[in-house]
Structure 1
Amino acid sequence: MTSDSAQRFLTALQLADSFFPSGMYAHSHGLESMVSRGWVRGACKVEGYLRSLLVWSVLPSDGVALVNARAAAQMGDLKTASDIDWHLYSMKLPEELRLASCLAGRRILDETTPLLAHRVGSSVCTHFRQLVGDRETPGTGAVALGVVAHAAGIDGATALLGFCHSFAVGVLGAAQRLLPLTHSEAQQILYSLHEPVADMVSEIEARHWQDMTSFTPQADIASMLHQHDEVRMFAS
């Protein structure tokens, strides 16, 4: 492994780490609402909920947006990156999830743009950040990460896997605060999701951004109900 490839790998780890200040620790992605209504109880139900989110929503919508946004950024095509951004934004039906994604995207761009200033592709990242700041594009988390991945020299598959890992860790962290879920159970759930996520990577990479899909009706309804709950620990 060369020094440059090692640096790219370390950057990918940094972006996927829960230590990275994207603000996603404050979101349960509907889990809090599911738990409060008794729809999710125990480790088995948490695994099923998280698996459904990844397979039926995160990968086929955010994942497709991420890899296509990275490809657009590589071509210097911010018009297409913005089109992808708006398309993904419109697919997030619950207001809380739209807001959560855009807040994460802004944080990703704000934190990484100065860090990657020395990289060859950093200008695209800077320009996209400006578009988000000017409200010309919403700046969803997946699209922002796709643009940043190009600037950092991270390939699409690695960025996609990092995004899924970060999402899963965030939901499991929320689950540990909402339910009696041990660290060992959380790790078992996380490991069990490696295979279904890995099996979909090639398919997701091959999809055109206009072929994004998402179908998690119960989770969407839970998120919509959550914003009206009187007592909330999480922002979504």
Structure 2
Amino acid sequence: MNIDEINEELAVMQLSDSFFPTGLYATSNGLEFLFSNNEIKGIDDIKNMIKVNIEQQIGPSDCVALSNAYTNAENNDFQKIIQVDEIAFIMKPIREIRKASVNSGIQLVKCVSEFVKDDQILNNFQKAIKNKKIHGTFPVSFAICCNALKIRKEKSLTMLLYGFTVSIIGAALRLGLIQHLEGQKILHEIKPIIIQTLKNNSNKSIFDMWQFAPQFDIIQMSHEKMDSKMFIT
């Protein structure tokens, strides 16, 4: 029995659990707007929405940011972590998406700092957030926290994409678009997309970051202007 591997698995389960208070449960990534306008019908539309977001936004942007931030944390290069965070912040053109990413990232760091006290990079990162020297975007904060908890980079990237997928499926469930069994079916069918996205984006330079999904940018902006909504974005 390898104690280090067990500790890593327990940390993975802790951060991946919807019980962990990062605020991601309050996001729908524009799904609510599509639902309110009757533009999304069921399981196939939801799966396609997740696929496009992973392949065109989360993968080439957040995954690359996480990967680089994690490597810089391992190398104890805090200035490069700040650079990654700044680029990740700029890469989010929608104000509400940007704000949600920062709020979730700050909350994640705050929570992990409550029980991890001896990681210097995490401590410096939290101080930089408090002093407004860094934004604390979610993928960068996630990288810092995973490194502090000794979760390997590959698993950290998988958790990021898994968490995004679950947040959309959870929103669809609460909106009444699908049932629980259909949600599990979507999650299973998205696995090959997650794997391929990891292969494509896990070793890219921070200067190779990109995202291009203009239709979803418009959807997210439209959601922001809704008079009444269940989700923040």
Using the size of structure 2 for normalisation, the TM-score is 0.97
Q: Aligned residues: percent identity?
A: 29
Residue pair 1:30, 1:226 contacting (<8 A) in 2 also: yes
- Equivalent pairs counted in the alignment come to 233
What residue is the counterpart of 1:45 in the other structure?
45
Tell me, yes or no, if structure 1 residue 230 matches structure 2 residue 227: yes
Deviation at 1:94, TM superposition (A): 0.8
The aligned counterpart of 1:186 is 183
Aligned to 1:32: 32
The residue aligned with 1:217 is 214
- TM-score normalised per structure 1: 0.95
Instruction: Give the alignment partner of residue 131 of structure 1, picking from 124, 128, 131.
Output: 128
CA contact (8 A) 1:42 1:179 kept: no
Q: Distance in 1 between matches of 2:37 and 2:87?
A: 31
* Separation in structure 2 between the aligned mates of residue 3 and residue 132 of structure 1, nearest angstrom: 33
- 1:116 is displaced (CA, Å) by 1.8
Quote the offset at 1:217 in angstroms: 1.2
- 1:57 is displaced (CA, Å) by 0.8
- Work out the CA distance in 1 between the residues paired with 2:199 and 2:177: 35
C-alpha RMSD of the superposition: 1.1
Q: Distance in 1 between the 2:163 and 2:217 partners?
A: 20
Task: Kindly provide the amino acid, as one letter, of the partner of residue 103 in structure 1.
Answer: N
Partner of 1:213, secondary structure, is: coil
**Native 8 Å contact 2:84 2:140 kept in 1:** yes
Structure 1 alignment gaps of length 5 or more: none
Shift of residue 187, structure 1, vs aligned partner: 0.4
Residue aligning to 2:65? 65
The residue type paired with residue 15 of structure 2 is L
- Any residues of structure 2 matched to 1:105-124 within 5 Å, and which? 105-118=105-118, 122-124=119-121
Following superposition, the deviation at residue 113 of structure 1 comes to 1.4
What secondary structure does 1:132 align onto? helix
Q: CA deviation at 1:39?
A: 2.4
Structure 1 position 135, deviation (Å): 1.2
What's 1:101 paired with?
101
Whole-Å Cα distance in 1 between the matches of residues 135 and 105 of structure 2? 9
Deviation string 1:168-190 (CA, Å, 9 cap, x unpaired) is 11111111122330101100001
